[in-house]
Amino acid sequence: MRITNTMQLNEALLNEGRVSNQMYQLTQEASSGMAVSAPADDPVAYASIVSSNEQISTLQARSTAATTAGGDLSLADGALSSASDVLVQAEQIATVQSNGTQTAADRATAATQVTQLVQQMIALGNTQGQSGYIFGGTKTGSPPFDASGNYSGNGDSTTLEIASGVTVTTNASGASAFTAAGGSNVIADLQALATALSGNDVATIQSSVGQINSDNSQVVAARVNAGVSAQQLQSATQVIGNAVIADQTSLASTQDADVATVYSQLSAVQTSYQAALSVTRQVLSMDAFEGQ
């Protein structure tokens, strides 16, 4: 079979196109740092990359939500700690004023102090976090306590899915901490103490000492529950963070190019491309010579 110049030219052009395509693909890998960036590069690997990116996105969203919730629970812990301090002060005032040596004037002054503590307690109950009012249950868009200490929130829990089918409570219960849902109406008990002090009602002042102490235990119990949720979120955040790193590492092994290898291959292909161009030129020159 006689090999004509046309056949040689076709073969040279075919080889030149093949090498040019290799050079283009390697150039893309070198510039993007990605071995697989489109389905055509590797359909199976590309499907795996899409799945990994979706999983990483889900995990990162959970991590962000867990961090936000953890911040709100930290605020709740601080607010409940301060609420406990308020009740300790109220109990101390009640203890002192239940003594028969105190005068009506002394108790009137103490009544003013307790009234201020009531306002502090209401303010603590209306603490706001990144997700809204942290003691309102699922009603986070408005203050759960009005100026008189009436509660308009609910005892519902907000939750976060930290893994498929696994949820963690992300709020502290204001209802359990401050209202009769937890045992006693803490703010109402403080208001009753203020009224008793103002009216020089020694018997009620004396009975309030134990009640305020019980109220403090109620607030502390709510704080403990919030602490348990905070610890669960902290652990979940660590686990999610580790999962993200593992998925990102796996993704990189599938998606990322070995830059050093790619540049080495690109250099070799560029050399082959120059050689292919040279062959094409030679064949064209021969064809032109024979045509003269």
- The total of structural domains in the chain comes to 2
Model confidence pTM above 0.75:
no
Same-domain status, 130 and 245:
yes
Query: What is the Cα–Cα distance from 266 to 30, expressed in whole angstroms?
Result: 8
Residue 209 falls within a domain, yes or no?
A: yes
Same-domain status, 190 and 247:
yes
- Domain encompassing residue 161: 52-251
pLDDT digits (tens, 9 = 90+) for 206-225: 999 999 999 999 999 999 99
Same-domain status, 158 and 230:
yes
CATH of the domain at 234: 1.20.1330.10
Same-domain status, 141 and 276:
no
Look at phi and psi of residue 167 and say left if phi exceeds 0, alpha if psi is from -120 to 50, else beta: beta
pLDDT digits (tens, 9 = 90+) for 127-153: 999 999 999 999 999 999 999 999 999
Residue 136 falls within a domain, yes or no?
A: yes
Residue 12 falls within a domain, yes or no?
A: no
Same-domain status, 193 and 278:
no
Same-domain status, 264 and 151:
no
By CB atoms closer than 10 A (0-12, 13-18, 19+), residue 229 is buried
Same-domain status, 115 and 175:
yes
Q: Does residue 236 surpass a pLDDT of 80? A: yes
Same-domain status, 155 and 276:
no
pLDDT digits (tens, 9 = 90+) for 52-81: 788 888 888 888 888 899 999 999 999 999
Same-domain status, 157 and 222:
yes
Residue 4 falls within a domain, yes or no?
A: no
pLDDT digits (tens, 9 = 90+) for 258-290: 455 544 554 665 666 566 556 556 655 655 445
Same-domain status, 211 and 264:
no
